[in-house]
Every structure is written in C-alpha cells, then in structure tokens.
C-alpha cells in the first residue's frame, strides 16, 4: 500500500507583470491558504517520503510557505514534466518515484491533478471526499489517497481510494467560498 497526496498550488497573482505564466507568484490570499494548510499538516503529523513538484514559481512559493508554517523540512524534486501536465504524464512521473517512498506528495496544477484523482479513484457513489473533489479542486487543496500498489511502477487507473480532501476553506472560513 502506498500513499499519495496531491497539492494544487495556492492562488497566484494575475496582477503581477511577469512575462510568462510559469513565473506568476502567489497573491496574499494564496499565502494565507498556505499558512492554513501548513498548520493542518503539522496538526495531523503528515509526513512525506518524497516530494515531486512543478518548478513553476507559484508551486515553489506554495511549498516554501507550507514548509515554514508546518515546521517540516521539504526537499522537493523539481520536475518540469509536472508543469501543466495531463493525468497520463503525472502517472508517468509517479511511476518513477523512489521505490522506498511510502508516501509521496505531488505539487502541481489543474486540470491534471484533478483528472489524476478521477483516474486513480473509481466513482462508487459513496465517497464524500470524491464528491467534494468533483465539485471543485480549488487552489491549495490537498487530496490524500491510499493506493493498492506495492511499487510506484505499478500505479494505474482505479487503484486508489480518496481518504481525505481538504480545501483551504475547510481550515479557515475566510478562505472561501469565493476562493478559487
């Protein structure tokens, strides 16, 4: 059994005068969401054996702010393939995860992360977490899954269950419902 947590980057700024989407930084609300998620990670003693992340500025800043608030020490592996990737590409990246990593955090972007949830977790109609993810996978949300695999190389569609789906607004009401 492996664990996979997906983290969508926090809300970024469209007001910043960067020339590329890749370089967009977080806005203030995104930073507040990171603080809430970091506290949640600390309070629930969530740890990761490996972190695979898009090198986009908004993902880097998301992880930095969450790391600071959680008190954890993150050592992400930056993988350009994760930037705006499809679910199929994300599956390929995960197949290359460290064999000894039991819990992987993947930090990236939508719609790929959202699609990955739906590819990994079959819809049996009984999961409140999956229904919440179907409604919307907002920025800075965490999707925690158990995967019925012993090796990352074996990850495939319908091998998981969505154990918990945590949105920033679940942690701090001031971060929703207009938070996207």
Q: Residue holding tokens 């994300």?
A: 90
Q: In angstroms, what CA-CA distances link 39 with 5, 43, 49?
A: 16, 6, 19
Residue 179 has pLDDT above 50, yes or no: no
- Entry field: residues in the chain: 180
Residue 85 has pLDDT above 70, yes or no: yes
**Exposure of 42 by Cβ count < 10 A (0-12 exposed, 13-18 middle, 19+ buried)?**
middle
Q: Pairing between strand 160-166 and 142-147? A: antiparallel
The one-character DSSP state at 9 is P
- Give the model confidence (pLDDT) of 145-165 as tens digits: 999 999 999 999 999 999 999
Residue 13 has pLDDT above 60, yes or no: yes
Q: What confidence score (pLDDT) does residue 41 get?
A: 98
For residues 178 and 132, give the distance between their C-alpha atoms in angstroms, rounded to a whole number.
Answer: 15
Domain locations along the chain: 2-12+23-175
* Range 2-12+23-175 classified under CATH 3.50.50.60: no
Residue 145 structure tokens: 């899954």
């Amino acid at each position: 059994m492996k664990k996979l947590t997906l983290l969508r980057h926090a809300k970024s700024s469209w007001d910043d005068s960067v020339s590329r989407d890749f370089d967009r930084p977080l806005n203030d609300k995104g930073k507040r969401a990171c603080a809430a998620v970091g506290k949640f990670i600390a309070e629930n003693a969530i740890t990761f054996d490996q972190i695979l992340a898009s090198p986009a500025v908004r993902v880097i800043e998301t992880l930095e702010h969450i790391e600071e608030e959680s008190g954890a020490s993150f050592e992400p592996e930056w993988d350009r393939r994760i930037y705006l990737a499809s679910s199929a590409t994300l599956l390929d990246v995960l197949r290359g995860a460290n064999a000894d990593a039991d819990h992987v955090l993947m930090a990236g972007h939508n719609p790929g992360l959202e699609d990955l949830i739906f590819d990994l977790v079959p819809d049996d109609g009984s999961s409140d977490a999956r229904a919440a993810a179907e409604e919307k996978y907002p920025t800075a949300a965490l999707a925690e899954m158990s995967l019925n695999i012993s090796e990352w190389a074996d990850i495939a569609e319908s091998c998981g269950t969505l154990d918990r789906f945590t949105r920033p607004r679940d942690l701090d009401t001031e971060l929703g419902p207009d938070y996207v």
